[in-house]
Chain A
């Protein structure tokens, strides 16, 4: 199974991760960024516009592909009931799917504009590997990197994970195997980069280097950005305790390219709990006789998180 994150906007290309399952064990076969033609359309295209299909490099030619779409119009959220359609744009048809985790838990709903779903589903043509077998929204796909990991099986009752993306951070709480809370807050690592860039008057592409070296303490610059987010984490944690009777016992951060230690530091000031970093590729064995992985995999694995999550969800669900 090869996972592809469509619409990520990553400068190196489309994040792609190929995994396989042998004897109940999931192995990493290939990972990287693929230069594939075309970009996810952000508005409905006129019919008959020619678009190129994709041919993946040999290392990524798995039989099937799981596609995760990162779209500003796509969403993942709780809904009160089947008739709750308030967030959808009434002028654009949406493709939606819902999942209920229990009678006392709100239903989770994922949605994607129909034209984007069609565009993504038709990138991989019939007759040559891979062909699409799954289409997911990025926010949902990324969660599976955590739930499919060996770590997830060893966790205490209630855990809250922060999935950091460029434009937002999602808070996902699990009570056992049940997803009991999903929230999104419009603060992501892109906002951190912007804050550093604005404060230090440097390009946003240099912001990560500020977060990685130790010469400058970026906390004063990023704390105002992260504080509202962690306040929301605190509120969510309090909500789980009061409304769901779930005491969050561990907090994890996932998908952050750099500056995790500063996030943990600021987090500990807001909530007296450690914020542990979860690496999406932890526990994933490299397949024997697989092509060599890129040398900078540890540095880029946050960007591959969504592609990996999509692949693992589809692979485990087959």
Chain B
């Protein structure tokens, strides 16, 4: 047993720390600071959320106000697009015009006297492949082949030479801006069997001219 006589009258609450950093004060301060920080953070988040809600409501109201105008605008855009497309197609067609006038104007000068033209026709182009689900307003191909067919009859001893002369004239340089190639298809220069036997000397011919293609550009 210790002989020390330590009769201590000091109360527990009177025992202090000599440490300048007082945990008793620092800890509550840190706790309060953290709590205040959290509260401020939550307040800021709340204010931000409130602000975003206000912005959202404003935007929604604005959208509602603009909905009619937006629909009208979309409709106008559609109309503009459609009109633009039509206009474009019309321009394509305009650009694709092949001028037969000058050639046809000079044609009587080229045709010999014993040749009678019975047909002068621009053959219709082959039908384009159209997708039923997505029909195109304009031509589906960028180019379209153009064929000019001349048919006629002739007689006499110079008939063959006259047809050849017409063919050569069509191939001449005066028509190269329209006709690329002119040929007499096989079997197209023949005797006219439909007439009476005394008129059997009459010959029929056809000339097919492949013209420059129509370019829809």
User: Could you list which residues of chain B lie within 8 angstroms of chain A, going by C-beta atoms?
Assistant: 1-11, 14-20, 22
Contacts and interface: CB of A to CB of B under 8 A. Distances in A.
With most chain B CB atoms within 10 A of its CB, the pick from A101, A125, A127, A174 is A127
Contact of A132 (B5, B14, B22): B14
Interface in A128-175: 128-137, 140, 143-144, 147-148, 152, 174
B16 A135 contact: no
B20 A136 contact: no
A117 interface: yes
A178 B2 CA distance: 8
Nearest to A126: B16
B15 A131 contact: yes
Contact of B4 (A67, A118, A126, A148): A148
Contact of A140 (B1, B5, B16, B20): B5
A132 to B, nearest CB: 6
B16 A117 contact: no
A140 B5 CA distance: 6
Secondary structure dominating the interface of A: mixed
Given A135-B8, A136-B6, A177 B1 contact: yes
Interface residues of A, number: 46
B128 to A, nearest CB: 99
B213 to A, nearest CB: 103
A210 B9 CA distance: 40
Interface of A: 63-64, 67, 76, 95-99, 101, 108, 110, 112, 117-118, 121-122, 124-137, 140, 143-144, 147-148, 152, 174, 177-179, 312-314, 316-317
A290 B11 CA distance: 32
Given A126-B17, A127-B18, A121 B6 contact: no
B4 A317 contact: yes
A9 to B, nearest CB: 20
Given A127-B19, A128-B20, A134 B2 contact: no
Contacts of B9: 95-97, 110, 112, 117, 135-137
B17 to A, nearest CB: 6
Nearest to A118: B14
A163 to B, nearest CB: 11
25 contacts: A64-B18, A76-B7, A95-B11, A97-B7, A101-B1, A110-B7, A117-B9, A118-B14, A126-B17, A130-B18, A131-B17, A132-B10, A132-B16, A133-B15, A135-B9, A137-B7, A143-B5, A144-B4, A147-B4, A177-B3, A179-B3, A313-B6, A316-B2, A316-B6, A317-B4
